[in-house]
Amino acid sequence: MTEKEKQQAGMLYDANHDPEVLADLHRCEQECFEINQIAPNNREERFRRLRNLFGKTGKGFTVVSPFFCDYGYNIKVGNNFFCNAYCVILDEAEVTFGDNVFIAPSCSFYTAGHPLNVEDRNKGLEYARPIHVGNNVWIGGNVTVVPGVTIGNNVTIGAGSVVTHDIPDNVLAAGNPCRIIKRL
Number of domains within the chain? 1
Question: What CATH code is carried by the domain that includes residue 99?
Answer: 2.160.10.10
Q: Which domain holds residue 84?
A: 3-183
Collapsing DSSP to helix, strand or coil, 18 comes out as coil
pLDDT of residue 169: 98
Our answer to whether residue 165 is catalytic in this structure is no
Query: Residue 66: its pLDDT value, please?
Result: 97
pTM for this entry: 0.96
Cα angle, residue 74 at apex, residues 145 and 130 outer, rounded to 5°: 40
pLDDT per residue as tens, the chain (184 positions): 999 999 999 999 998 899 999 999 999 999 999 999 999 999 899 999 999 999 999 999 999 999 999 999 999 999 999 999 999 999 999 999 999 999 999 999 999 999 999 999 999 999 999 999 999 999 999 999 999 999 999 999 999 999 999 999 999 999 999 999 999 9
Q: From the candidates 17, 26, 114, 165, which is the catalytic residue? A: 114
Q: What is the pLDDT of residue 114?
A: 95
